[in-house]
Amino acid sequence: MVLNKEKQNKVRLNQPAHGRMNFSQQFVILLLHLILLFSNILGMELTFELEDNTKQCFFHDIKKDTKALLEYQVVSGGKYDVDCSVEDPDELKLYSEKRKQFDVYEWDAQKDGAYKICFGNEFSTISHKIVYFDLTVGNEAPLLDTMDRSTALTQMESYCVTIHDRLKEVFNLQTHFRLREAQGRVFAESLSTRVQVWSCIQLFIIITAMVGQVFILRSFFANKHAPMRRTTT
If asked whether residues 128 and 208 sit together in one domain, one would say: no
Position 40 pLDDT exceeds 70: no
Mean pLDDT (the chain) is 76
Q: Which domain holds residue 79?
A: 43-139
Dihedral over alpha carbons 189, 191, 192, 194 (to 10 degrees): 120
Q: What is the pLDDT of residues 194-206, one digit of tens each?
A: 999 999 999 999 9
133: closest CA among 80, 175, 165, 92? 175
Which residue among 83, 108, 139 closes a domain?
Answer: 139
- Quick check: is 209 in a domain? yes
Question: Are residues 112 and 51 both part of a single domain?
Answer: yes
| Residue 5 clears pLDDT 80, i.e. is over it | no
Could you tell me if residue 231 is inside a domain? no
Type of residue numbered 100: K
Q: Facing residues of 46 across strands?
A: 133
Q: DSSP letter at 233?
A: -
Model confidence over 114-144: pLDDT tens digits? 999 999 998 888 888 889 898 888 876 666 6
51 & 29 share domain: no
Integer Cα distance of 97 and 105 in angstroms: 10
24 lies in the same domain as 96? no
Assess whether 34 and 72 both reside in one domain: no
- 117 shares a domain with 160: no
Is there a domain that residue 226 lies in? no
Q: What is the mean pLDDT of residues 110-116?
A: 91
Decide which of 10 and 145 is more confident.
145
Residues 174 and 196 reside in one and the same domain: yes
Is pLDDT larger for residue 159 or for residue 134? 134
pLDDT in tens, 41-71: 445 778 888 988 899 999 999 988 888 999 9
- Residue 233: inside a domain: no
Counted domains in the chain: 3
Residue 125 and residue 163 share a domain: no
Per-residue pLDDT averaged across 169-186, rounded? 81
Phi/psi for 94 (5° steps) reads -95, -25
Model pLDDT for residues 7-34, shown as the tens digit of each residue: 333 333 333 333 444 555 455 445 445 5
34 and 47, same domain (yes or no)? no
What is the domain-level CATH number for residue 135? 2.60.120.380
Domain shared by 50 and 94, yes or no: yes
Flag whether pLDDT at 191 surpasses 50: yes
Q: Residue 227: which pLDDT band, with cuts at 50, 70 and 90?
A: low
Collect all residues with Cβ–Cβ distance below 8 Å to 202 and sequence separation of at least 6.
none
Residue 225 belongs to a domain: no
pLDDT of residue 6: 37
Query: Is there a domain that residue 73 lies in?
Result: yes
Is 145 part of any domain?
A: no
Hey, CA dihedral for 58, 68, 40, 101, is it positive or negative? positive
Ramachandran class of 92: left when φ > 0, alpha when ψ lies in -120 to 50, beta otherwise? beta
How many CB atoms are closer than 10 A to CB 128? 14
Mean pLDDT of the 166-176 span? 81
DSSP string spanning 179-228? HHHHHHHHHHHHHHHHHHHHHHHHHHHHHHHHHHHHHHHHHHHS--SPPP
Indicate the pTM of the whole model: 0.59
Q: Are residues 116 and 56 in the same domain?
A: yes
Mention every residue, 6+ apart, whose C-beta is less than 8 A from residue 36. Answer: 3, 4, 7
122 in the same domain as 85? yes
